[in-house]
Amino acid sequence: MELSTLIPIIIGVVIAIVVIVLLFAMIKTANANEALVVSGVGATDKNGNPTIKTAGGRVVIPFIQKAKYFDLCVRTAKVTSDVTKTQTGVPIQID
């Protein structure tokens, strides 16, 4: 085979590899203790709320959609009285 017949095949293989790598880079996955919140064009419902995926994956289109991970682990705090304040100073009554 001549080099001139191999060049289109090599270019096609390189383009296919680049497309596959880009597709895998667009996949975002949330672990079991995380939530994936996706917002942007095509990622919201009819009311404009963002898509929330827990323990799953989704394709996120770069520059059009944005993905954020949120930790879902439970955190405990020792409280000595029934009323306490948050970090911002908002009082909370504990049952």
Residue 73 sits at the vertex; the CA angle it makes with 72 and 77, to the nearest 5 degrees, is 125
Task: Return the beta strands (E) in the chain as ranges.
Answer: 27-29, 34-40, 51-54, 57-59, 65-71, 83-85, 91-93
Supply the pLDDT for residue 1. Answer: 66
pLDDT per residue as tens digits for the range 1-34? 687 889 999 999 999 999 999 999 999 999 888 9
pLDDT per residue as tens digits for the range 38-78? 998 888 888 888 888 888 888 898 889 999 999 888 777 77
Domain definitions of the chain by residue range: 28-93
